[in-house]
Amino acid sequence: MANPKPEELARIEYKPPKTGWMDTPAEIRKGMFCHAGKSKSLEYVGLPNPRQWTVMEEDWKLPENWQEIFIEGLRERVNKFRSFRLFLDICVRCGACADKCHFYIGGGDPKNMPVLRAELLRSVYRKYCTTSGKIMGKIAGARELTVDVLKEIWYYAYQCTECRRCSLFCPYGIDTAEITILARELLNLLGLNIDWIAGPVANCYRTGNHLGLQPHTIKDTFDMFADDLETFTGIRVNPTFNRKGAEILVVVPSGDFFADPGTYTTMGELLLFHELGLDYTWSTYASEGGDFGFFTSNEMAKRLHSKIYAEAKRLKVKWILGGECGHMWRVWHQYHNTWFGPMDFLEEPVSPITGTKFENAKSNKTVHICEFTSDLIKNGKLNLDKSRNDDLVVTFHDSCNTSRGMGFLEEPRYIINNVCNKFYEMPPNTIREQTFCCGSGSGLNASENMEIRLRGGLPRANAVKHVVQKYGVNMLSCICAIDRAALTASVDYWVPGTRVTGVHEMVGNALVMKGEKKRTTNLRGDPLPGMEGE
Amino acid sequence: MGLIFSFFTVVALGVIVFIGVKAADMRYLFGVIIPYAAFFAFLIGIIYRILQWARVPVPFRIPTTAGQGKSFPWIKQNTIDNPFTSIGVIIRMTLEVLLFRSLFRNTRAELRDGPKLSYGSTKWLWLGGLAFHYAFLIILIRHLRFFLEPVPLPIEIVEALDGFFQVGAPVLYITNLIFLGAVTFLFLRRVVIPQVRYISLAADYFPLFLIGAIGVTGVLMRYFLKTDVVGIKELTMGLITFSPVIPQTIGTIFYIHLFLVSALFAYFPMSKLMHMAGVFLSPTRNLANNNRAVMHVNPWNYPVKAHTYDEYEDEFRNVMKEAGLPVEKE
Amino acid sequence: MYNAGKIIIGIIIFVGLVTFPFIFAGGKATAKPDPKIDTPEILKMPENERKCVESKSFMKKEHMQLLNDWRDWVVRDGNTIYTNAEGKTFNMSLQNTCMKCHSNKKKFCDECHNYTAVKPYCWDCHIAPKEKES
């Protein structure tokens, strides 16, 4: 389906319809949703109620007792997650969150206001789990769980990227991500997953990464990286895989093995590790940092992430180094330690190059590569030639998860400022903790839902446009694999001509290595500034 | 619908008392029985609701981080918005509860032609909310003069400050003006802003009307209709000392005021007003962001089925060997 | 993680605040105010003439407003004579009219004012009558 022109898409009507939201059934529209999850994907990992079903068909082939399953699941979860129960109970509908959501800003659908997105489920909770809702019904904001209501919950649970921007502004910290995460769990009880999540989940489970790359393919991919790097630098990197006894296990999002521009980030990392002579290994078994289970259910998230834990144990490494990825870091930072801790078979992470102890990761033993690299730069361990990135006018997109789930703001900026000369920030209300989602996070990076992705991408892209016009920015840097894929599509549409890069790609470009040949191109094979004629 | 329903419910509450006291002389019911019942519903109800939340564990440490986290000594941490220690959390929560810090961040998105999105700071909701809550609190404290005998000095001081401008007699309280103004503002924004009107339920209008009506009846009683204040204190002190008395000199307006307050107390535990207690329990605010340094325990954490390395190697052993990757079993 | 300890402390604080008036009173009945109108000046009057400037019920509710009006009329407008509902006239003066009969500020004014924590600012300007400690 062709997308409308940007001018047309940006004509947004924010006025809500005349009829109340409970009386306005959701209109399920093409371009706004992802295809249904395939039954073989669900079967492979044993998710309940696998079947072939189609979103646009009237009959979703729900199990007979679907209502009971959903409500039982809801009751179970309000007794397991205080966050969930509290957030269903205490919203005062002040509306502060309304215009904080990128989907609402870019689409104007009132049910994409975080408060209303939550009310969709809250109304069902009131009906079946509270006395006033049971007795007073609609006047208490309660409603029956009908098939239409279920479809509505599904439709909007997959129009939320769990970015937590609304949670920042909520006076009670109500986090729509929690609501969406648990709504998706409930939908998964009924087999209502989407293909772009269910497929990657099954792939991660089987092959260790969401792309389904098998071990030899990963090895081949890295050989290609090594070939390219040898051409550019004259140096042959020799990464190892599944090597026991290495000091560090490196895990990055597998998107960075496969698709440009993520691949350049991996290449930058390979150069860095080689230059340092780091004793590290990749794993083909734990070859995915991004946890697609997190978009399915807490249990599925734990099932997938346990590979990293198990692999670190099997390979007897000392600690784990994680690549540039958004939600992978949300999971690693806020969930991993609780699922698998205490990590007593690992050692408290210490940089073998600088001797710096990573105090903030002493229990979980997992270090972010930007922490690792910024420490190297601070200690003067890297020889960096910023001018090699002089063709780039750079801005930085904070990922939702690293900014609002970690507070990881300065580390990447410190690196960027040390590897390039021209760095400009986007407007303050669109960066750091107030950053906007790329528009395609939490498993919504499919092609069939392009309209909603572009709409959700508008706030970010518009801020990029601002710095493009003001400072001539031509490179949008980020530390997330989904960003690298999603922002590429979004800026192509809204701000054509802007490109996307990972931070470690720029590190790889600037890194002056021992014994390297005179570099004439960057890691993309494009001529370096001043080398255009050579 | 919610608006009209709520409005008439509050009107009906007033009419019930008016008839009950004027026509049926049910002063004991409205002056003693209902206030006691409402007070205990309030007390027990709130404790019950808090315990209901307390029974549910916080399985994961999920603070919303609103600033730079703890990192290297040379990176300045935002210790309030992204606390690493309990002290930081206490400061964050204090600012949240006392100054509505999150709401203070509020912005307004605007889309202009271009398209051009801009985000301006907007503090009206924060200011209105803060004014409303603090005026309410001071009014509540002032009312302690009816429940304490002798009246302690701090309450007299609050009262003196509140009536600082000495306008009229009885002296006009500044908080009365602020309170009615803030309630009106909160109501108007709910009706005027289309998005907020769209999300508003009866459960949003009802407490606003109820609280507004309490304010209006209070102001009417103090400044316009006037009634026997000494008699009122005899009644309230009777309640406080469990020896209720009904002085016959108190006007109906007082019973309406008291009944509406009783309605608010009884309604409180089953409503959104529980945000008063809930804000303290919010896991995105009251946890330190130290997940990688301190393990957070989930009481219902359970082992899950994962795809083991052995299963993986069994499937891919041949291609792994061909590619020269190490394997556990030959 | 339940944070049970912190929640219980919170509940105890809440209960303490809400029930504070009950605890403060300790179940003991408190004395009601009993304003006295037995000053020598009043007792001197024949019983059927013992009337204030307006009716008792009016005075009870509106005396603060009346005094406020008196002040404005005298100080700002220069009128000094007040005509009541019955057509009787009085000199509008707190000290010379009101306090002439009610010379017992402590036993009359303060009795109710203290009970309800009202602090009239009459005596910011006027000199309070000297009373013998009783």
Query: So what's the pLDDT on residue B130?
Result: 97
Average pLDDT value for residue range C99-117: 90
CATH number at residue B228: 1.20.950.20
Number of domains observed in the structure of chain B: 1
The predicted-structure confidence for A269-303, as pLDDT tens digits, reads as follows 999 999 999 999 999 999 999 999 999 999 999 99
Assess C59–B contact: CB distance below 8 Å, yes or no: no
Which of C30, C114, C118 faces B241 most closely, judged by CB atoms?
C30
- Specify if B328 maps to a domain: no
Is position B175 within any domain? yes
Helices (H), chain B: 2-22, 27-28, 34-54, 86-99, 101-104, 124-143, 153-162, 174-192, 194-199, 202-219, 229-240, 252-267, 275-281, 309-322
Reported as a pLDDT band with limits 50, 70 and 90, residue C121 is confident
Asked if residue A221 and residue A182 are part of one domain, the reply reads no
- On whether residue B329 sits in a domain, the answer given is no
> In terms of domains, do A143 and A221 share one?
no
Which pLDDT band, with edges at 50, 70 and 90, does B174 fall under?
Answer: very high
Beta carbons within 10 angstroms of residue B123's beta carbon: 13
pLDDT above 80: residue B71: yes
pLDDT at A2: 62
Q: Answer yes or no: is pLDDT of A78 > 80.
A: yes
Same domain flag for A179 and A215: no
Mean pLDDT of chain C: 88
**Which residues on chain A are in Cβ contact (under 8 Å) with B290?**
360
Question: How far off is chain B from A519, nearest CA to CA, in Å?
Answer: 31
pLDDT for the residue numbered C95: 87
pTM of the model: 0.94
Domain boundary among A143, A168, A192: A192
From A384, A273, A258, select the one nearest A321 (Cα to Cα). Answer: A273
DSSP calls for A409-441: -HHHHHHHHHH-S-B-PPPGGGSGGGPPP-S-T
At C89, which helix (H) or strand (E)?
strand C89-91
- The per-residue pLDDT of chain A, averaged, comes to 95
| Cα gap C27→A33, rounded to integer Å | 66
pLDDT tens digit string along B209-231?
Answer: 999 999 999 999 999 998 889 99
DSSP-derived letter for residue A350 is B
Helix residue spans in A316-447 (DSSP H): 327-331, 337-340, 369-378, 400-404, 410-419
Residue A1 has pLDDT above 60, yes or no: no
B230/C28 touch (CB, cutoff 8 Å), yes or no: no
Whole-number percent of chain A with pLDDT over 70: 99
Nearest to B281 among A86, A116, A407 (CB): A86
Residue B47 has pLDDT above 60, yes or no: yes
Residue B296, in any domain of the structure: yes
Q: A201: which residues sit within 8 A by CB, 6+ positions away? A: A41, A45, A193, A210, A292, A293, A296, A300, A304
Contact B148, B97 (CB under 8 A): no
Closest chain C residue by Cα to residue B249: C57
Cβ(A453)–Cβ(A459) under 8 Å? no
Given a cut of 90, whether residue B170 has pLDDT beyond it is no
Residue C77 falls inside a structural domain = yes
Above 80 in pLDDT, residue B41? yes
Residue B327 lies in a domain: no
Tell me the two tokens of residue A344: 């007593």
Distance from CA of C45 to the nearest CA of B (A): 28
- Summarize the confidence of residues B300-305 as an average pLDDT: 96
What average pLDDT does the segment A260-265 reach?
A: 95
Q: Evaluate whether residue B330 is within a structural domain.
A: no
Claim to verify: residue A217 and residue A114 sit in the same structural domain: no
Q: Do A139 and B108 touch (CB under 8 A)?
A: no
Pick the residue from chain B with its C-alpha nearest to A175.
Answer: B284
User: What was the pLDDT predicted at A533?
Assistant: 67
Q: Does residue A517 register a pLDDT over 90?
A: yes
Report the candidate in A338, A351, A286 with the shortest Cα–Cα distance to residue A313: A286
CATH number of A131's domain: 1.10.1060
Summarize pLDDT for A322-341 with one digit per residue, the tens: 999 999 999 999 999 999 98
Contact C15 B43 (CB under 8 A): yes
Decide if C110 is inside a domain: yes
Residues 185-204 of A with CB under 8 A from B: none
SS3 assignment, position B231? helix
pLDDT digit string, tens, across residues C7-39: 999 999 999 999 999 999 988 888 889 899 888
Q: Widest CA span of chain B, in angstroms?
A: 100
Q: How confident is the model at residue A530 (pLDDT cuts 50, 70, 90)?
A: confident
If asked whether residues A482 and A500 sit together in one domain, one would say yes
Same domain, A177 and A303: no
Top residue of C8, C20, C32 to mutate, by most chain B CBs within 10 Å, is: C32
Q: Does a structural domain hold residue C134?
A: no
Residue A140 sits in the same domain as residue A216 = no
Q: How far is C27 from chain B (nearest CA, A)?
A: 4
| Lowest-confidence segment of A152-166, A412-426, A464-478, C34-48 by average pLDDT | C34-48
> What's the first-to-final CA gap in chain C, in angstroms?
64
Choose among B262, B222, B206, B216: nearest CA to B17: B262
- For residues A335 and A293, what is the distance between their CA atoms, to the nearest angstrom? 12
Q: How many interchain CB pairs under 8 A, A with B?
A: 317
Does A230 share its domain with A373? yes
- pLDDT of A64 > 50? The answer is yes
Tally of structural domains, chain A:
2
At residue B242, the 3 state secondary structure works out as coil
CB distance A359 to A498 below 8 Å: no
B residues 224-253 closer than 8 Å to A (CB): none
Looking at the domain assignment, is residue A52 inside a domain?
Answer: yes
How many CB pairs lie under 8 A apart between chains B and C? Answer: 96
A235-251 average pLDDT score: 96
The mean pLDDT of chain B is: 95
* Domain membership flag for residue A35: no
Evaluate whether C81 touches C91 at the Cβ level (below 8 Å): yes
- What pLDDT was estimated at residue C133? 52
- Region B158-163: mean pLDDT is 92
Q: What's the pLDDT band for C119 if we cut at 50, 70, 90? A: confident
Cβ <8 Å between B229 and C29? no
d(CA A43, CA A63): 16
Per the CB < 8 Å rule, is B304 touching A306? Answer: yes
Rank A100-109, B17-26, C99-108 by mean pLDDT and report only the highest: A100-109
Spatial separation of the C-alpha atoms in residues B152 and B146, rounded to whole Å = 11
Does A153 share its domain with A289?
A: no
pLDDT digit string (tens) for A441-474? 999 999 999 999 999 999 999 999 999 999 999 9
pLDDT at C134 over 50: no
| Position A409 in a domain | yes
Overall average pLDDT of the A385-413 stretch: 96
Q: Does B25 reside within a domain? A: yes
| Burial (Cβ within 10 Å: 0-12, 13-18, ≥19) of residue C81 | exposed
* Residues in chain C closer than 8 A to B169 (CB atoms): 64-65, 67-68, 120
Q: Test C29 with B241 for CB contact under 8 angstroms.
A: yes
Phi, psi of A246 (to 5 degrees): -65, 155
**Residue A247: other Cβ atoms inside 10 A:** 17
Q: Do B240 and C22 touch (CB under 8 A)?
A: yes
Q: List the single residue in A83, A95, A242 with the smallest CB-CB distance to B326.
A: A242
Query: B293 vs A359: CB contact, 8 Å cut-off?
Result: yes
Which of A208, A337, A362 minimises the CB distance to B296? A337
- Identify whether residues A55 and A110 lie together within a single domain: yes
pLDDT of residue C122: 87
What range defines the domain where residue A287 resides? 202-510
Give the gap in angstroms from C-alpha A529 to the nearest C-alpha of chain B.
32
Q: Does C17 touch chain B (CB under 8 A)?
A: no
Beta-carbon separation of C19 and B43 below 8 A: yes
Look at chain C and count its residues.
134
| Domain span holding position B247 | 2-322
Q: Tell me: do A171 and A115 sit in the same domain.
A: yes
C132 pLDDT higher than 80 = no
Is residue A101 domain-shared with residue A206, that is, in the same domain? no
Q: Give the domain range for residue C71.
A: 4-125
CA A12 to chain centre: 26
Is A516 part of a structural domain of the chain?
no
C131 belongs to a structural domain: no
β-strands B107-112, B116-121 pairing: antiparallel
Q: What is the pLDDT of residue A534?
A: 61
Residue numbers in A near B293 (CB within 8 A) = 359-364
